């Protein structure tokens, strides 16, 4: 971690874990912008942030399929919740198809979080956990719950046909649900999870395919498609540009 850039991610409480991947923060206290590359990771991010140049705001980022180079402005502080996609329906109670590969500002006062809540990460973690816990549904569609459980357990390597058979839900209906709720197909989402699982291997210096890529060339092509870099460049991670990879290297 750079002395001029700080980040922290913690696992959610077990009660909200079916819907939340982690709760985290990043902070650029320096006088210069921090260049980063955001890579698709299959998560839906809710940011609460402010900087020296911009007031407090809340941003919801949808699922992404392309890498994006960004700059974190000087003196930026952001707390975030990384949701699993199912949370958009049951916790956020909204479709995110309209913010596929993009994001949107949420109303002021969303979830009663304001700039004062950015002064203490532990207090924020407690408050946001309480808010999400209060929104937990009494029940969820068992097909959807099982579908995501299988997708995650297989790192996206099960085919749509296999998933459809195991959850007793037609593949057309599943894809219709994915496109209407998330803005992409089930197959596209599975490829993102396979990419994310591959990053865990790359972070450890294993630069060859360990999942169901047809060959090394296919592996390199897929990694570059989602990250903008070949596996060797990712592993070097110059200037900690790929934050997701930096986090994986620390685990």
pLDDT tens per residue across span 80-109: 999 999 999 999 999 999 999 999 999 999
- State yes or no: pLDDT of 250 exceeds 80: no
Share of the chain above pLDDT 90, in %: 84
Q: How confident is the model at residue 248 (pLDDT cuts 50, 70, 90)?
A: confident
What pLDDT score does 2 carry? Answer: 58
Share of the chain above pLDDT 70, in %: 98
Q: How confident is the model at residue 193 (pLDDT cuts 50, 70, 90)?
A: very high
Single out the residue of 8, 5, 128, 4 nearest to residue 58, CA to CA.
128
pLDDT digits (tens, 9 = 90+) for 197-229: 999 999 888 888 777 787 888 899 999 999 999
CA atoms within 13 A on the CB side of 215: 1
Question: 196 is written with which tokens?
Answer: 């994310």
The chain-wide mean pLDDT, for the chain, equals 94
Question: 110 is written with which tokens?
Answer: 């969303």
pLDDT digits (tens, 9 = 90+) for 118-165: 999 999 999 999 999 999 999 999 999 999 999 999 999 999 999 999
Least confident interval from 36-45, 120-129, 150-159, 241-250 = 241-250
Single out the residue of 63, 11, 74, 54 nearest to residue 178, CA to CA.
63
């Amino acid at each position: 971690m750079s002395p001029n850039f700080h980040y922290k991610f913690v696992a959610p409480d077990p009660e909200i874990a079916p819907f939340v991947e982690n709760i985290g923060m990043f902070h650029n206290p320096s006088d210069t912008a921090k260049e980063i590359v955001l890579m698709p990771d299959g998560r839906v991010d809710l940011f609460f942030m402010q900087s020296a140049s911009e007031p407090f705001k809340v941003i919801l980022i949808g699922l992404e399929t392309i890498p994006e180079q960004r700059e974190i402005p000087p003196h930026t502080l952001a707390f975030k919740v990384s949701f699993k996609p199912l949370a958009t329906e049951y916790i956020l109670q909204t479709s995110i198809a309209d913010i596929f590969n993009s994001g949107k500002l949420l109303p002021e006062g969303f979830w009663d979080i304001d700039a004062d809540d950015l002064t203490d990460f532990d207090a924020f973690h407690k408050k946001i956990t309480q808010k999400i816990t209060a929104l937990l549904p009494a029940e969820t569609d068992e097909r959807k719950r099982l579908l995501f459980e299988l997708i995650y357990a297989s790192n996206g390597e099960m085919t749509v046909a296999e998933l459809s058979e195991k959850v007793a839900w037609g593949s057309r209906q599943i894809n219709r649900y994915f496109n209407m709720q998330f803005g992409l197909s089930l197959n596209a989402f599975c490829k993102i999870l396979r990419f994310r699982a591959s990053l865990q291997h790359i972070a450890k210096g294993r630069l060859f395919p360990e999942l169901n890529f047809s060959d090394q060339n296919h592996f390199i092509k897929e990694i570059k498609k989602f990250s903008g870099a070949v596996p060797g460049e990712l592993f070097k991670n110059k200037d900690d540009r790929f934050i997701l990879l930096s986090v994986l290297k620390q685990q």
